[in-house]
């Protein structure tokens, strides 16, 4: 007998896959640092100066575990959203919260629904738990709530995922459409409504909170508009009974003390959030302009990125992306046709956008001189 651990059947069957390759991995492969980091929808505008101060001030306290109940931050979030602290659970970003949610619901073989081409980390967690993932196509460049609900009903899904605004396309639905989706949801089906980008969306994209409904979990993060991706903190909003289920299995000390402190400071700096929104709006316009000047079609965006139709197929867009990467611009692109006719570029400041513009122009000139079909 050889020495070998016995992994579960689900784990043993998993491929060695990674939802996203990090920019650092690409940098190590090329031996060169990126000139502009526009691939992960991070906020190049950074966290608020007050948050940076709060982090520095909290350094000497890093020896203490964070409050496992996250009391102060949850109380502040409850006030912010006019909810109760019992409606909120903290987690290590939306990725961490999705992981816990999937573990709550998904046993091997359970049907789960998402969109083909939607956020891959959700599908990654479902696979890790042996779920049977049914995907539905986008309707144009937006996720299709009707099709998602129909697939949930057809498969008897325990959980359906949608992001509003959407990543990677940047599109969004109105609160009315989302409300309609919730109303049409099967009675025994949970909805994971990923609102990572909601702070950057136009008013009217978020339906009212209905914390009497145990089926709807709203996912929020400090990683995007608040610029705290590197500290791992997000939260979920739901009915108290739903939120309490997280307490059964979550890593109670998993949300760090500094993360909680920084998030609280970020929540309080309303002015900074306004400034970031203004920067993002300006940057979206700038990126859209750059796209158009280069013959690409920018899609409307409710996020801190602009998805650009390169006007060809996936092969062409992949060549554009490769050209950008080779020129020191970290960007990404959707994974499935026909979404993969696009590249996705995070909002940079003036400097990053200028670097992107030059690299794009250069890339397209090169591609015109070579045979890419």
- Number of residues engaging a copy of itself in binding (CB under 8 A): 93
Q: Which of 77, 106, 200, 331 binds a copy of itself (CB under 8 A)?
A: 106
Contact between 248 and a copy of itself per CB under 8 A: yes
Minimum distance between the CB of residue 96 and a copy of itself, rounded to whole angstroms?
6
CB nearer to a copy of itself: give 55 or 118.
55
User: Interface residues for a copy of itself in 307-366 (CB under 8 A)?
Assistant: none
User: Interface residues for a copy of itself in 125-184 (CB under 8 A)?
Assistant: 128, 158-159
Beta carbons within 8 Å of 232's beta carbon, 6+ residues apart: 92, 93, 96, 223, 255, 256, 259
Contact between 256 and a copy of itself per CB under 8 A: yes
Minimum distance between the CB of residue 175 and a copy of itself, rounded to whole angstroms?
20
Q: Which of 29, 33, 62, 322 binds a copy of itself (CB under 8 A)?
A: 62
Q: Which of 34, 36, 38, 55 binds a copy of itself (CB under 8 A)?
A: 55
CB nearer to a copy of itself: give 72 or 289.
72
CB nearer to a copy of itself: give 136 or 231.
231
Q: Which of 99, 165, 298, 348 binds a copy of itself (CB under 8 A)?
A: 99
CB nearer to a copy of itself: give 240 or 312.
240
Minimum distance between the CB of residue 330 and a copy of itself, rounded to whole angstroms?
11
Contact between 242 and a copy of itself per CB under 8 A: yes
Minimum distance between the CB of residue 255 and a copy of itself, rounded to whole angstroms?
8
Residue 121's closest CA among 41, 206, 225? 41
**188 close to 173: Cβ distance less than 8 angstroms:** no
Which span sits near a copy of itself by CB under 8 A: 59-67, 141-149, 287-295, 360-368?
59-67
Contact between 96 and a copy of itself per CB under 8 A: yes
CB nearer to a copy of itself: give 56 or 208.
56
Minimum distance between the CB of residue 215 and a copy of itself, rounded to whole angstroms?
5
Q: Which of 77, 196, 219, 245 binds a copy of itself (CB under 8 A)?
A: 245
Minimum distance between the CB of residue 151 and a copy of itself, rounded to whole angstroms?
17
Minimum distance between the CB of residue 70 and a copy of itself, rounded to whole angstroms?
9
Give Cα separations from 228 to 88, 258, 264, 360 (angstroms): 19, 11, 11, 28
Residue 248 CB coordination number (10 Å): 9
Minimum distance between the CB of residue 146 and a copy of itself, rounded to whole angstroms?
20
Q: Edge to edge, what strands does the sheet with 305-309 contain?
A: 297-298, 305-309, 342-346
The rounded distance, in Å, linking the Cα atoms of 220 and 225 is: 11
Q: Which of 35, 67, 180, 326 binds a copy of itself (CB under 8 A)?
A: 67
User: Interface residues for a copy of itself in 277-316 (CB under 8 A)?
Assistant: none
Give buried/exposed letters for 72-111 (b at 16+ CB in 10 A, else e).
Answer: ebbebbbeebebebebbbbbbbbbbbbbbbbbbbbeeebb
Site string for a copy of itself, 12-51 (x = CB under 8 A): --xxxxxxxxx-xx--x--------x--x-xxxxxx---x
Give the residue carrying structure tokens 């409904």: 213
């Amino acid at each position: 007998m050889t020495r070998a651990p016995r992994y579960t059947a689900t784990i043993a069957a998993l491929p060695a896959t990674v939802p996203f390759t990090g920019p650092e991995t690409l940098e190590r492969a090329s031996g060169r640092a990126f000139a502009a980091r526009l691939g992960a929808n991070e906020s190049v505008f950074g966290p608020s100066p007050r948050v940076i101060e709060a982090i520095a001030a909290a350094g000497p306290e890093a020896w203490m575990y964070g409050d496992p109940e996250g009391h102060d931050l949850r109380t502040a979030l409850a006030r912010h959203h006019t909810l109760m602290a019992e409606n909120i659970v903290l987690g290590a970003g939306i990725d961490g919260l999705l992981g816990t949610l999937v573990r709550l619901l998904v046993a091997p073989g359970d049907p789960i629904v998402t969109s083909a081409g939607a956020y891959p980390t959700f599908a990654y967690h479902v696979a890790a738990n042996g779920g049977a993932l049914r995907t539905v196509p986008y309707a144009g460049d937006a996720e299709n709530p009707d099709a998602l609900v129909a697939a949930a009903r057809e498969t008897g899904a325990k959980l359906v995922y949608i992001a509003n605004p959407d990543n990677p396309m940047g599109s969004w639905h109105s609160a009315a459409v989302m409300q309609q989706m919730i109303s049409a949801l099967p009675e025994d089906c949970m909805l994971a409504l990923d609102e990572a980008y909601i702070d950057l969306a136009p008013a009217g994209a978020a339906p009212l909170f209905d914390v009497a409904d145990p089926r709807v979990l709203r996912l929020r993060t400090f990683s995007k508009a608040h610029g705290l991706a590197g500290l791992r903190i997000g939260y979920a909003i739901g009915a108290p009974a739903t939120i309490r289920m997280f307490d059964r299995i979550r890593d109670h000390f998993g949300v760090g003390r500094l993360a909680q402190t920084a998030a609280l400071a970020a929540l309080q700096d309303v002015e900074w959030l306004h400034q970031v929104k203004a920067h993002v709006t300006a940057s979206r316009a700038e990126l859209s302009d750059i796209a158009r000047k280069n013959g690409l079609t920018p899609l409307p965006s409710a996020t801190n990125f602009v998805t650009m139709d390169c006007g060809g197929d996936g092969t062409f867009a992949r060549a554009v992306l490769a050209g950008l990467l080779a020129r020191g611009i970290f960007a990404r692109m959707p994974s499935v046709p026909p979404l993969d006719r696009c590249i996705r570029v995070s909002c940079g400041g003036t400097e990053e956008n200028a670097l992107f513009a030059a690299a794009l122009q250069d890339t397209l000139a090169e591609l015109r001189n070579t045979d890419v079909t």
